Amino acid sequence: MEAKTNKYDKPVLTLVGAGPGDPELISIKGANALKRAKVVLYDALVNPEILEYAPKNSLKVYVGKRANNHSHTQDEINKLIVDYSYKYGNVVRLKGGDPFIFGRGKEEAEYAELHGIKVAVIPGLSSATTLPALKGISLTSRGISESFWVLSGTTQNNQLASDIKLAAKSSATIVILMGRNKLSEIVEIFKNNNKSGVPVAVIQNGSLANEKTAISTIENIEKLVEQKNVGTPSIIIIGEVVRQHTEYVCEYLHSNLLQNQIKENETSHV
């Protein structure tokens, strides 16, 4: 255990989930925790507008990690948590989505507790459930899907998560985080399970003004994602419930309207 030489004997670390991006989707409790923070350590997926909840004179430290671009290693982040906690007394660790859903929040909490720091956790809205809901997709829907899986698309070794092969055999709705760069592999797995016609939605920057969405089938999703330039960070939603997506519904209604107009025109010329 590291020596504690700074002035605060009873420091507090609060792990706060910032939600999927929209600054209004953070919880009231999370916003209140930020208002009391002396230091905020924030991730790449945190909307900078959320930092406005923190006092102007608080220290705000970016510790974001993106694929192949880490500002700090996890070990360095852990040490910063301990150092700032004892130096300033009240630290908020602000993480995108929910800290305990592919956010390594548990690791950071255990490290802080090991060093004598009291830890509080304020959950956040995960993109896995929030973004589908914002698009009118019910992950479970009577007569369509009785359950859903939430998976990471990429392991810490940058390999495709093996659980996706199991998920592809299921009738459940599949939600994959951190899977955009593995889309080709994911598509191949679902094709091998005779699911080429299953609907898919890929959503980048969900809940934000610069959101991009591609909605198609397993067979055609890669081509559409490229056409619409849908990049990262994205979530992938696979399953029949994707037909509830607002874009799919609009296209369906538009198609029916055109068909009805064609029939009316044909009738009027008889």
Task: Tell me which of 65, 87, 165, 212 is the catalytic residue.
Answer: 65
Task: Tell me which of 22, 38, 43, 95 is the catalytic residue.
Answer: 43
The number of residues in the chain equals 270
Give me the numbers of helices (H) and strands (E) for the chain, helices first please. Answer: 8, 12
| Residue 178: active-site member | yes
If 0-12 CB within 10 Å is exposed, 13-18 middle and 19+ buried, where does residue 268 land? exposed
Distances (CA, A) of 35 to 15, 16, 17: 14, 12, 14
d(CA 248, CA 150): 22
d(CA 160, CA 158): 7
- HEC string for 240-263: HHHHHCHHHHHHHHHHHHHHHHHH
Tokens of 179: 């899977």
| Residue 1: active-site member | no
Task: Tell me which of 22, 95, 135, 178 is the catalytic residue.
Answer: 178
17 contacts 42 by C-beta, under 8 angstroms:
no
Question: How does DSSP classify residue 9?
Answer: S
| Residue 43: active-site member | yes
If 0-12 CB within 10 Å is exposed, 13-18 middle and 19+ buried, where does residue 217 land? middle
176 contacts 152 by C-beta, under 8 angstroms:
yes
Question: Which positions are catalytic?
Answer: 43, 65, 178
